Amino acid sequence: MAHVSATVYTSHVPAIGAALDHGRAAEPYWAPVFAGYEASRAWLREDPPDAIVLVFNDHATAFGPDLVPTFAIGTGESYAPADEGWGARPVPVVQGHPELAAHIAQSVIQDDFDLTLVNRMDVDHGLTVPLSLLFGQPPAHDFRWPCPVIPLAVNVVQYPVPSGRRCLALGRAIRKAIESYGEDLNVQVWGTGGMSHQLQGPRAGLINPVFDHAFMDMLTTVPEAAAAIPHVDYVREAGSEGIELVMWLVARGAMPERADGRAPTCVHRFYHVPASNTALGHLVLAP
């Protein structure tokens, strides 16, 4: 049967994609950011996934004020990089996994989560930047991502947004669905977004390393405590866009629990300030 072999967590700062796309990754400002992912890239090369469920938020490209699903799963064959106002990123089209996505949708909806099914959408930096960070830029002679990706969009833009508890529970339902899929697949679940940042208002530029490190600690060892953080605490401590961290809880819920009750193994952990106007965080957890 399919299984969740690991969960991956990363920020999805759009300026990171621009730095890669314009050949600036080796510049002194950006080099430490990309160096922080080298260990994870090596780990992925040693044990590549057969498929990824990638949790992200849309930034008004696939969805807008007229349609704001709380949770939406991509069930299509493929997803083109979105034009976010300055042209689409020069990265490959994302290939989906319709069979696994349909199975997850069936299972999760029967477990009382009301997913929106999306058969066609473009995907923006929220999905493509994590792929670039963890896989690098695909070469011209083999211009494709290494494996199929199932997009799972979470609304963290338009209130009301889902609670951390709901996101953690959704992750557990996704794990149950994956483990009941009748094909031997190595599946990873990635949670993206964050960490602390605020893009507007008097507190624009806010970054809170203390909160960010505490969140990564809780997420790893006591996810229920992280899931209990109320929305107002995210806004107060991590800025208005810090609420994106609830998407990490979906991935954490998908992590298989150890029989002895201990925390999962931390394969890699990285934190860097600043990446553009955002605190960048990255974790890899394995059962």
List, by residue number, the catalytic residues: 125, 197
Quickly list DSSP for 219-261: HHH-HHHHHT--HHHHHHHH-GGGGGGHHHHHHHHHSPPPTT-
Q: Give the up-direction half-sphere exposure of residue 155: CA atoms within 13 A in the CB hemisphere.
A: 16
| Vertex 191 angle, CA 24 and 85, to 5° | 50
Report d(CA 93, CA 149) in Å as an integer. Answer: 10
Cα-atom radius of gyration of the chain, to the nearest Å? 17
The closest alpha carbon to 122, from 153, 145, 147, belongs to 153
At 23, list the tokens. Answer: 């050949």
Which 3 state secondary structure label does DSSP give 127?
helix
| Vertex 286 angle, CA 190 and 209, to 5° | 65
216-252 burial, b for 16+ CB within 10 Å, e for fewer? bebbbeebeebbebebeebeebbbbbbbbbbbbbbbb
